[in-house]
Amino acid sequence: MNLGWLKDLTKPFSTTLNAVAERLALRIGRRKPNLYVHFDPVQTVWCIAQSAQRGGSPVEYMHVVFWADLNHDDPKQTLVIVNAYPEGTQPEMETISKFSIPPGSIVHEQLSAIVLPFVAKKGEPWIGKFILVDQFDRTYKTKKIKFKWVGPVENRVP
């Protein structure tokens, strides 16, 4: 008995199932790596940034800057950090230079973010977490870190 017609009948199903299986394998094979951020505590600061508005008063933004050593635990994949901002805020201007973290490497980078809304009080240190975003739009939260206020000191009369 010739069953060649049965093979032709099932071919569309096998093609679809193979595509699904390949995508599942790709997802399982590309797990989200752990990203490690080692802050330089001397150089973690925040202040106010301003932008001039035509015919109006300037707009104030929260500006956070820090240096850190970054690495991750994926032995094959290079991570590219494309964005960074304090938790609870949204970037208002692109201030980060995209950078790569190759497998098995530590990179020393300066990260900067100009954001709204304010999550800190002017004139005081701020303790918070940073969100870093990679090339696959995956987010990573850092541990809490203290950012020193480096803006102007308010004149207070005793």
pTM: 0.76
> Could you tell me the pLDDT band of residue 55, with boundaries at 50, 70 and 90?
confident
Residues 93-118 pLDDT 10s? 888 899 999 999 999 999 999 999 99
Report, at the CATH architecture level, how domain 35-149 is classified.
Sandwich (2.60)
Tell me the two tokens of residue 129.
């977490």
What is the predicted pLDDT for the residue at 67? 97
What is the predicted pLDDT for the residue at 100? 97
What is the predicted pLDDT for the residue at 120? 95
Average pLDDT over residues 30-48: 93
> What's CA 110's distance to the chain center, in Å?
13
